Homo-oligomer: A and B are copies of this chain.
């Protein structure tokens, strides 16, 4: 994989839909930082961006990272330090795109995901082929709360089909991320 452009992930905390359809900023949770970093590292991702405009929340992310990268956590659980080494906090989705472009020398193809069917989504097979044969970096974009606001979908290239079209779907974002990484990048069950 090292000669190919990287795959990146962004977890967006703003702009996010609330239950009623309004636009909100959700809180960063410690578990989202850890679980998603571990899944991203396991599937070979090059970077994991935590997107929030709130400086105090970005400071929290930096605090978690310094403990696990250099503090007591790094000594106690070195695998965790490896996972958190790919985490980076940025104020906006546009900053995440710009950071990938700066690292890779090419603008990433941006892929959004959503629990609900809407727009003209691509199948997992189609996006898996696209990711496997990529000649540009890929940025996978996940929402928190009740999902990404419309303006994020409007600013991205590809919309991926829901994990479970129809029926009950109330997966935690941490679970949805791990399933989608496995479907797009996994080595087994294929």
Using CB atoms and an 8 Å cutoff, list the residues of chain A in contact with chain B. 31, 34-35, 38-39, 41-43, 79-80, 82-83, 123-125, 128, 161, 163-165, 168-172, 174-179, 182-183, 186-190
Contact = CB atoms under 8 A, between A and B. Distances in A.
Copies of the polypeptide in the assembly? 2
B79 A172 contact: no
Tell me what chain A mostly uses at the interface: helix, strand, loop, or mixed.
helix
Residue in A34, A83, A175 whose Cβ sees the most chain B Cβ within 10 Å: A175
By Cβ-Cβ distance, the 5 closest A-B pairs, closest first, are A175-B178, A79-B170, A183-B189, A35-B172, A124-B189
A168 B42 CA distance: 6
B188 A183 contact: yes
Contact of A164 (B161, B170, B174, B187): B187
Contacts of A187: 164-165
A128 B189 contact: yes
B163 A39 contact: no
Given A124-B189, A178-B179, 8 more contacts: A38-B171, A39-B175, A124-B188, A128-B189, A163-B186, A172-B174, A179-B186, A189-B190
A171 B34 CA distance: 10
B39 A171 contact: yes
A153 B34 CA distance: 28
